[in-house]
Amino acid sequence: MLSIKDLHANVEEKSILKGLSLDIKPGEVHAIMGPNGAGKSTLGNVLAGREGYSVTGGSVQFNNEALLDLDAEERARKGLFLAFQYPVEIPGVSNMEFLKASVDAVREANGQEPYSSVDFIKLAREKCKAVNLPADFLKRGVNEGFSGGEKKRNELLQMMLLEPTLCILDETDSGLDIDALQVVADGVNALRSPERSFIVVTHYQRLLDYIVPDYVHVLADGKIVKSGGKELALELEKDGYRWIAGESA
């Protein structure tokens, strides 16, 4: 479903991704770990098509299409979802309006009718319950005054409504207490299916106790330097990333 080959990308003329390759099949969960500044968020942002990143080499196929030829909106419509490390506030737009607009855009791209307001409200309330958010949450401004945990639950809510085929979670666990972490993990696990894949970027092994990945990769200096199964996360927790410098020295 996703095939990244020898990807190179710059942020403001600075080379960040330096030949990154990664293959993800439908239904797989891939965790990406690695030291600060390695390029983990850059990878998510490049895949999602955010502005400010220029691809200087390599290719990305997403469901047999050249992903890099599509703009950010088209990528989202084709099923790619990036949950932000720092979700943005959009004051003045209610969460309900925002969610309905994004869901309807995806439906439209797939030849489906937009939801009626009544049907969407019903659906959104149901999903709110599933992620432990009160229904009046939908009336508030997008991320306006949301606590850390509420922002994450809101991302999860968005994901449940959009039903993407590739979900990229960038440090979704940062700043979460153990209960909120559990809610996020339960939500992600409920969304796991044979057609849906996940890239879970995390600093901590802890999240991977709850969201058990099929593969763990270490991203360092713009490349995947090691890949393994879920046990690799435990080794990293124990040994840190110093061995990376040691091995290349």
Which residues are paired to 30 by β-bridges?
199, 215
| Choices 29-37, 65-73, 184-192, 241-249; region in contact with ligand ADP by CB under 6 A | 29-37
Amino acid at 184: V
Binding mask 199-228 for ligand ADP (x = CB under 6 A): ------------------------------
Helices (H) and strands (E) in the chain, counts: 9, 12
Among 7, 33, 42, 133, binds ligand ADP (CB under 6 A): 42
Look up residue 100 and give its two tokens. 């309905």
Q: How far is the CB of 99 from ligand ADP (least distance, A)?
A: 27
Residues 49-68 close enough to bind ligand ADP by CB under 6 A:
52
> What is the distance of C-alpha 202 from the center of its chain?
11
Residue 143's binding partner, choosing from Mg ion, ligand ADP, none, with beta-carbon cut-off 5 to 8 A by kind?
A: none
Name the residue nearer to Mg ion (CB basis): 36 or 248.
36
Helix (H) or strand (E) holding 242: helix 242-248
Q: How far is the CB of 48 from Mg ion (least distance, A)?
A: 13
Among 8, 30, 41, 120, binds ligand ADP (CB under 6 A): 41
Binding mask 22-61 for Mg ion (x = CB under 5 A): --------------x---xx--------------------
The b-or-e profile of 197-230 (16+ CB within 10 A means b, else e) is bbbbbbeebebbebbebebbbbbbbbbbbbeeeb
36 binds ligand ADP (CB under 6 A): yes
Q: Note whether 77 and 69 are within 8 A (CB).
A: no
Residue 22's binding partner, choosing from ligand ADP, Mg ion, none, with beta-carbon cut-off 5 to 8 A by kind?
A: none
| Number of other CB atoms surrounding residue 243 within 10 Å | 14
Amino acid at 114: P
Among 19, 37, 134, 240, binds ligand ADP (CB under 6 A): 37
Among 1, 2, 16, 47, binds ligand ADP (CB under 6 A): 16
Q: Please tell me the distance from the alpha carbon of residue 80 to that of residue 163, in angstroms, as a whole number.
A: 9
Q: Note whether 128 and 135 are within 8 A (CB).
A: yes
Q: How far is the CB of 55 from Mg ion (least distance, A)?
A: 18
Strand 215-220 versus strand 223-228 pairing type:
antiparallel
Interacting residues toward Mg ion by CB under 5 A: 36, 40-41
Interacting residues toward ligand ADP by CB under 6 A: 11-12, 16, 34, 36-42, 52
